[in-house]
Structure 1
Amino acid sequence: MSRRRSGAAMGEGAQRRDRIGIGGSAGGLPALLDMLAAYEPQAPAALFVVLHRAREAGHLLDILKQRSPIDVVEPADGARIAPGCLHLAPPDAHMVIGEDHVHLRRGPKENNFRPAIDPLFRSLAIFGGARATGVILSGYLDDGAAGCRAIVGAGGGVIVQDPNDSTSPSMPRAAISAVGEPELIAHAGVIGTALSSLVAEEAGPTHPVSEQVKLELMIAGLEKASMSSEDELGQLAPYNCPDCNGVLWRIEDGPISRFRCHTGHAYTQNALAHRQDELLEQSMYDTLRSLREKSRMLRDLSEKDDINRATFLKRAAECDADAANVEQLILSRTARAS
């Protein structure tokens, strides 16, 4: 399973592969529970979990506490990393790690989420190096793929849930495409069994992390988000940020094309297209509402103005016709998406 020898005795002062980052989205919770059910660690390891979640999804912590074989916490900012503990990213904050502590940051959303997987994985690459392993579970789109590349570049490993075992295979497929050959592709339960022994293995050599990865981690924490910092990452793109309307920079990261604005919002190309679709649909519904309200207002005016009644009714009919066209456009887009 592992690229490294698990049977060899660890040398004096050697480090273990005891920093495990786990990311998932749609279908990620059942996969995580299956993984934890098979997890019997042969040595203490710190697990860090990011599941895309709504701000009000507080029940997730209770579920994991009931089902996890190790302690589960939602860490406070600055909390020490606890060996043998699962650290769950709280709602509406990116969770990243330092040398010995967990940090929570209200930085801009990445791939339309906060918490997002990529910031955690970048921090694991920087502060975990070869000790780090990234695990990608079921999920929609491709959050975590760029973070997987960062972990592998630092000497760590990547494990991916088998897309055929995933409720939403997009995220596992994106991770596989990003790194080329993950350490393991398997059923969630098999991943839990594999991690049980992996955490006792000696870590290999750590490789230097690129300045780009370090800069993007700082941006996620609102430490260095500016137009000049984006100039260091990529080239100006012909798109605007869908969340703040700022200009976007295009970042080529191996097989992944990504985008950032100068306030720090970040998207893969798929996440950007998805967000554009969301805002386009919202704009169409806003237009439909405005046309219907305008029609109603014009008809009300016609009842109180005999001189201009015909004009008001004509304009109301035009609004009704435009509204019908917009409604048909919405329905046709919905049909294509289903």
Structure 2
Amino acid sequence: MPKRNIIGIGGSAGALQAVCEFLSGFRPECDSVVLLVIHRTAESSRLLDILQRCTPLQVREPVDDEALAPGHIYIAPADQHLLLGDDHLHLRRGPRENNFRPSIDPLFRSLAVFAGARANGVILSGYLDDGSAGLRAIASAGGSTFVQDPRDSLTPDMPRAAISAIGEPDMIADAKGLGDHLSKIVAEEAPESKEVPENVKLELLISGLERASMKTEEKLGELSPYNCPDCNGVLWQIEDGPILRFRCHTGHAYTHAALSQRQDEMLEKTLYDSLRAHREKAQLLRQLSEREPDKSDRWLKRASEYEEDAELLEDVILRQNTPA
């Protein structure tokens, strides 16, 4: 019988310390496979070295189509989604989800589809709510769900969101407590898996850029009045239990919190672009007033109007950057 030895871990801000505490209870002979997504950039190259000092298990970044090996921890490389396949791993530069690549949700959906009840999904410290929808997918396939206690998290947003999404995870504890518990149950036989919902399978394909299209999105939800902030395509609204999510037909996906954050970023960029344009226009008009004395009053009047508008834009930007 297959064992409950497939572990997926997701975290963001504050998760590195939590991962080290989680892994501290695993022994060298442990035959579990750990798949890890931490929101990271290409500059975070020391991540493997740091984690290897925390555990006797072998830590590595996989290559595409690499076969799973017991006793290994596979870390999602920067700018690539890490996905589980049928006893092997995929790396895909699919669309960003919740403003990240790698993202936790695609990994967890792949665990739901290919590991079923063997899968253990773990959410650790981090901002916003990436991983919550994926954790629901694991639960829907008969897998187990584990969440770091928000009181133990340096950044409690993701654990709180995961608890809200699941309702009652299989376990809520500090990072070390979760790791100690999982290091014991990975040797147990897995229960029978449940049938994976079709929407979970479909979204997994989209994450790998295999089946993103307008017809596909229509199967997932209703057309929304919003545009995708990354590609300007229309967004479909997906009701996922307590989670409100959005996805465009090229595959970008957001929870409502991630969409709001991305809209804030795009709005700020638009405001700064407009501020720059107004200042440049005012400067050009003042230059014209010097070169065309007969029209100087006209150009100076218009320059003053652009400068006044620029001051209004500065006020708007300052309000945008003021914490609520």
TM-score by length of 2: 0.97
- Counterpart CA distance in 2 for 1:148 and 1:157 is 9
Note if contact 1:42-1:197 (Cα within 8 Å) is conserved in structure 2: no
Aligned residues: 324
AA matched with 2:36: V
Equivalent residue for 1:281?
268
Are positions 1:111 and 2:127 aligned together?
no
Structure 1 residue 167: Cα displacement: 1.6
Match among 50, 62, 81 for residue 94 of structure 1? 81
Secondary structure of 1:336 counterpart: coil
Specify the alignment match of 1:134 in structure 2.
121
Return the letter of the residue paired with 2:107.
L
Deviation of the 1:175 alpha carbon:
0.8
After TM superposition, give the deviation of residue 77 of structure 1 in Å. 0.3
Alignment partner for residue 189 of structure 1, among 141, 153, 176?
A: 176
- Residue 151 (structure 1) aligns with: 138
Q: Please give the residue correspondences for 1:26-65 in structure 2 after superposition, counting only pairs within 5 Å.
A: 26-40=13-27, 43-65=30-52
Aligned to 2:234: 247
Corresponding position: 1:212 with 2:184? no
Please tell me whether residue 177 in structure 1 is matched to residue 164 in structure 2: yes
| Corresponding residue of 1:332 | 319
Q: Quote the offset at 1:38 in angstroms.
A: 3.2
Match of 2:302 among 298, 315, 320: 315
Q: 1:83 aligns with which of 53, 70, 75?
A: 70
Partner of 2:249: 262
Q: How many Å separate the matches in 1 of 2:12 and 2:154? A: 10
CA-based RMSD of the aligned residues comes to 1.2
**Equivalent residues of 1:95, 1:105 under 8 A apart:** yes
Contact 2:32 2:186 in 1 (8 A): yes
2:258 maps to amino acid: A
SS of structure 2 residue aligned to 1:260: strand
What is the aligned partner in structure 1 of residue 224 from structure 2? 237
Cα drift, residue 42 of structure 1: 6.7
CA distance in 2, matches of 1:27, 1:91: 17
Contact preservation (8 Å) 2:28, 2:56: no
Cα deviation code 1:286-318 (max 9, x no counterpart): 111111111111111111110111111111111
The 4+ residue runs of structure 1 with deviation greater than 2 A are: 37-43, 65-69
Distance 1:280 1:293 in 2: 20
What is the CA distance between 1:41 and its match in structure 2? 6.9
Q: Which residue of 2 aligns with 1:272?
A: 259
Structure 2 distance, partners of 1:45, 1:302, is: 74
Q: Return the alpha-carbon distance in structure 2 between the equivalents of residues 166 and 336 of structure 1.
A: 22
Task: Assess, with a 3 A threshold, how the Cα gap between structure 1 residues 275 and 210 changes in structure 2: closer, same or farther.
Answer: same
Give the partner amino acid of 2:300.
L
Q: Distance in 2 between matches of 1:149 and 1:25?
A: 18
Aligned counterparts, 1:284-299, within 5 A: 284-299=271-286
Q: CA deviation at 1:69?
A: 2.3
Identical aligned pairs, as a percentage?
58
Structure 1 residue 168 corresponds to structure 2 residue 186: no
Gaps (5+ residues) in structure 1?
A: 1-13
Asked if 2 retains the 8 angstrom alpha-carbon contact of 1:39 and 1:196, the reply is yes
User: 1:189: how far off?
Assistant: 1.4
**Contact 1:140–1:171 (Cα < 8 Å) also in 2:** yes
Output the TM-score relative to the length of structure 1.
Answer: 0.93
Counterpart CA distance in 2 for 1:178 and 1:81 is: 30
Aligned CA distance change for structure 1 residues 41 and 180 (closer, same or farther; 3 Å): farther
Alpha-carbon distance, 1:62 to partner: 2.1
